[in-house]
Structure 1
Amino acid sequence: MESSLNKFEAIAHSLGQNIATERKKLRLTQKQLSAGICSQSMISNIEKGNYVPNAILLTEICQKLGISVDNSLLSTYYEISEYNGFNKKVELLCNNHQYEELIDYMDSSRIIDTLFRSEDLQTFYYYYGCGTYQITKDSTSALRYLNMALKFTYSNRKENLTGLEVLIFSAINFIETKSSRTKSLKNFEIAMNAISKNKVLMPDKNLSIVFYQYAMALLHQKNFNKSIEILQAGVQWTTEHDSNFMLSDFFFLLTQEYDAIEDTQHARESETNYQVISKIFHQKVNKSI
């Protein structure tokens, strides 16, 4: 525990020094930097290494300093979690549709008792909400977990979203529409807007899920043409980002879409694609639509 604390203190100190250095380069006082963001005393505590800002505050500070959030200033900050193994495991279980194992692992690990960073707690409740819904179809509980997760870091004042925030917006809207709680696709539009306008901080392959969930929601609303458009965009986005994640799911769903509009040729092409891709990359396709 002591080594973990020392590591955290070292990163907080380094981050604070870097922010102070960048502020002084711009000849800003602490009061000027804090204006419209937080209190001057908060900036002072951050620069002294007494406080590590959450994702929202850190993003706002960096934007005012003209610093990219993915530059070397932040490279160690986003690695301070002692539970990277946990994060990777829950992501893997979720992506492989092993939801019962996911919930069992999260319940048995008791890691929730040791989390303190907003981002770590957000990760926990995002995956817990997704797993809960997939196992029980209890939309009320799942949405409670997901909305809780979003509140840890999100503010409607943010211009840019983290990748996880985008996934949470998508998951919330997906569950809402599938459980007939709403016909609105507003949260999907927020997520897609962030992706299309490059307003996602450090995007990763998991954003492919947004295209898939949006297309599924449109399919259930029988908006087949729009759903096909979103799936095609998902295929393009995924391949442009040198990924094969979700590709077999995209083509499987496209097969169903083309069948629905009686486009036999494209249905056959999509079926061939999903079978080949799932075999080559050993992807487990979700066929429960």
Structure 2
Amino acid sequence: MQIGNRIKIERQKRHMSQKELAQDICSQTLISRVEKGEIGLGTDILYKISQRLGLPIQSFFNESDIADKKLFVHNQRQILAMLCGQDYLSLQAIIQTELKRTDLSELEVLFYHWVDSQLVFYIDHDHEESISQLTELLDKATAIENRKLEAFVAYSIGVIYTKINDELKATSYLKRAQLVSKKLDDFRLNVDIMYHLGRNQHLLHRNGEAIKTLTDCIDLLVAKESIYHLGEVLYERGNTLFEMGMSEDALEDMTGSQVVYRLQQNSSNVFFTKERIQRIESDLKK
């Protein structure tokens, strides 16, 4: 069956109108045209529809769909968003389907292998195999002089080493990623790298380096008028300042972090910052 028919069947099973399915995702007209088989769907829209219907995205396609290029629009940005959203099983289905295509460029193949290599860690929990695949991919990215892919892969290796508590190796790869990313116009990538690098520098007790990295990150966020990762960066700098005995400055950062989390309606992080603020205030009273 076509994707549109599947969407229609699943929608009707739930007694859901086209308008209800489309709400905050796309237009009702788009849903109508998709269900009639007039147009295909992009990865981002198909993913959101699958979430609205409470279904994994892989349930919308099978082996016979692979040859249909209208299955979904090739959209790297949305794949990155899904990776950040941690919907790893759905993402794995998309990547495995895409890798079976015969019309992919060399760069597209490398991009999909980069995502797939990370899923080895996040799904199979095999950090050695994941790092091995990513390291091989890093060499390829360097060889073809694709700086963006090189930065992404080095960053990913750094994050995995962070998650397995090897801060020294994490810092090494994150510094490499930072060196390459400085030449790229990718705001979020630069923020992600600086946040994780500063965090690892703090864990290694390289507090002076950590403060500089995190401050540079905050300056970039302020210049872009963005709160992306701002709560986390302020929290991390506040922790570092507190460890350095600069409690007043630490309190200012923690309070700022809490404000950001409240704006984001992130109740769990508001709770954590509240506890940290109370500890710092108690230290100041001594």
Q: TM-score, normalised by structure 1?
A: 0.56
Distance 1:83 1:282 in 2: 32
Show the counterpart of 2:104.
116
Q: What is the number of residues matched between the two proteins?
A: 197
Q: Which structure has the larger Rg over C-alpha atoms?
A: 2
Mapped pair 1:218 → 2:204: no
Q: Could you tell me the percent identity over the aligned residues? A: 12
**RMSD between aligned residues:** 3.4
The alpha-carbon deviation at position 217 of structure 1 amounts to 1.9
The alpha-carbon deviation at position 229 of structure 1 amounts to 1.3
The alpha-carbon deviation at position 193 of structure 1 amounts to 2.6
Match of 1:233 among 216, 234, 237: 216
| Residue aligned with 1:222, SS | coil
Matches within 5 A, 1:32-181: 86-95=75-84, 98-99=85-86, 101=87, 103-109=88-94, 110-114=97-101, 116-134=104-122, 138-155=126-143, 158=145, 161-162=147-148, 164-176=149-161, 179=164
The answer as to whether partners of 1:259 and 1:267 remain within 8 angstroms in 2 is yes
Show the counterpart of 2:262.
279
Amino acid at match of 1:193: L
| Residue aligned with 1:113, SS | coil
Q: TM-score, normalised by structure 2?
A: 0.57
Distance 2:104 2:217 in 1: 34
Superposed CA deviations along residues 198-220 of structure 1, whole A, max 9, x for unmatched, are: x22x4232321100111122122
Show the counterpart of 2:253.
270
The alpha-carbon deviation at position 92 of structure 1 amounts to 2.0
The answer as to whether partners of 2:138 and 2:150 remain within 8 angstroms in 1 is yes
Q: Which has the higher contact order (CA 8 A, sep 6+)?
A: 1
